[in-house]
Structure 1
C-alpha cells in the first residue's frame, strides 16, 4: 500500500529569481558600505586603536556607513539565501526585519511630531556639538560643509554659532587666522570667481575670512 505524497505550493521562478537578484545587489551594497567604513577607520588609525573611537567630540560619519552597511548586509543575506534555497526561516526573518524597520521609522515620525520642541532642542545641541569638533575630523568637516552648502545655511541658528569653535571664535585670546570667520561653505559665491584665478585680486591674499558675502 503506497502512501500519499503531498507537495507544497510551488514558488514562481520569476518571483524567486527577482527577489534573489534584488537582494544580491542589496547584499553587495552592504558589503561595499562596510568596506568603505572599515577603510576610513583604518586610514584614521581607529582599527589599530579602538579606544580612539571616543576621542572625537562630534559625530563620526563613518558610523553611518557601518550601521547602514550592516543592516543592508543582514537583510541582503537573508533575502538572497532565503529566496534561492526557499528557506522559510530566512524569508520570515527578512520580512520581520523589514517590518521592524518600518515600525521604527513610523514611531520616530510620530515621536518627532509629538515632541517636536524637544527634538528641535536636541538637534540644535547635536549641531553645535559638531561645530565645536569641526576641525577634529576631516570626515565630519566634509559632512558639515556639504550640509551647509546643500541647505544654504550656516550653523544651527546662524553664523554666530561658529563662535563655539576654537578656531573661528572672536575672543581676544584666539590667535587663529580664522578668528571671527566662518567656513567657506557658509558663503555665497563671488561673481569675481567666474574670472580666471590669476586675474582676481584676492588670489594673493593669505586667507580669505573677511570681507566675504556670507549668509
Structure 2
C-alpha cells in the first residue's frame, strides 16, 4: 500500500509537472507568434523568394530580432512542454541547461556592459550610423529608426549632421535628392496642434543656422539621449532584468526538481 508520504511526494511532483507545462506553453505560443511575424515580414520583402537579398542591407534588419527571439522561445517552450508532459528527463535537462546558458550569457553581458561602457557607447554610435546609411533600404529599419528618434526625441547618433552619412540626406553639391541637407520627419519637434504628421518638416533644415534648427528639430543625438533615459529609468530597467533572472532561476529549479522526481521513481521501480 502506498504511504501517505509517498503519495504526497507524487502529488507535489504532479503539480510541478503541470506548472512547468503551463508555464512553457505560453512561451511556446509566443515563440510561434514571433516566428510567424518574422517569416511574414520576410515574405512581404521578397526575402523568401530571393535568399541572396538577406545580405543586401547595410544596416540592422529588425526582422532578425523577431526570428532569433521567436526561435529561442519556440525551442525552450517545446522542450519544457513535451519534457514535462511526457516526463522526459532528457528534454527537461536540455531545457534547464539551455535556460542556464541564456542566464549565464545575460549575466556576462551585463557585467561586460558595465566594465566596457565606453566601448559599448562607441559600438552603439557605429550601429546607429550604419543604420542611418541604410535608412531607405528597408521599411522595417526605417520604422525602427523613426520610432527611436521620436521616442527619445533625438536626431542621429550624436547630432543631426550624422544624416550626412545617408546618400539622400547629405549636403554635398552632387546630391540631386529633394531631401538634400535635411533630416527625416522623426527628427522634427512635435506641434501639439497638428494632428497629421508633416513628413516634409525636415527638408533643407540643416542648411539653416543652429538657432533656427533648434526651433524645428531635435538637436541632441540618440546615444546621449539613450544614456539619459537609462539613468532616469535605472530602477525600472534593473527591476525588469532581475524579474527575468528570477523567472529563469525558478524555471531551472522546477525542471531539475522534476528530473530528480522522475529518476527517483524509475529507480524505485527497478528495485521494487
Same fold (TM over 0.5): yes
Deviations 1:53-90 (A, max 9, x none): 00111111110011000000000001101111111111
Structure 2 CA distance for partners of 1:155 and 1:10, relative to 1, 3 Å: same
Deviations 1:18-42 (A, max 9, x none): 2111211110110111111111111
TM-score (norm 2): 0.66
Deviations 1:171-193 (A, max 9, x none): 11112111111111111112441
Counterpart contact for 2:31–2:70, Cα < 8 Å: yes
| Aligned-partner Cα distance in 2 for 1:193–1:202 | 25
TM-score (norm 1): 0.83
User: Shift in Å at residue 12 of structure 1?
Assistant: 3.2
| Aligned-partner Cα distance in 2 for 1:98–1:192 | 49
Structure 2 CA distance for partners of 1:4 and 1:42, relative to 1, 3 Å: closer
| Runs of 4+ more than 6 Å apart | 1-8
Structure 2 CA distance for partners of 1:5 and 1:153, relative to 1, 3 Å: closer
SS at match of 1:166: coil
Q: Structure with the greater relative contact order (CA < 8 A, sep ≥ 6): 1 or 2?
A: 2
Structure 2 CA distance for partners of 1:134 and 1:5, relative to 1, 3 Å: closer
User: Shift in Å at residue 7 of structure 1?
Assistant: 13
**How many residue pairs are counted as aligned between the two chains?**
197
User: Shift in Å at residue 6 of structure 1?
Assistant: 13
Structure 2 CA distance for partners of 1:176 and 1:101, relative to 1, 3 Å: same
Give 5+ residue unaligned stretches, structure 2: 196-223, 227-272
Stretch deviating more after TM superposition (10-19 or 137-146) = 10-19
SS at match of 2:10: coil
User: Shift in Å at residue 117 of structure 1?
Assistant: 1.8
Counterpart contact for 2:18–2:84, Cα < 8 Å: yes
Counterpart contact for 2:129–2:165, Cα < 8 Å: yes
User: Shift in Å at residue 144 of structure 1?
Assistant: 0.6
Structure 2 CA distance for partners of 1:5 and 1:102, relative to 1, 3 Å: closer
1:93-132 equivalence runs, <5 A: 93-132=94-133
User: Shift in Å at residue 142 of structure 1?
Assistant: 0.4
Structure 2 CA distance for partners of 1:10 and 1:165, relative to 1, 3 Å: same
Q: CA RMSD in A?
A: 5.2
**Larger helix fraction of residues:** 2
Structure 2 CA distance for partners of 1:13 and 1:181, relative to 1, 3 Å: same
| Aligned-partner Cα distance in 2 for 1:150–1:4 | 57
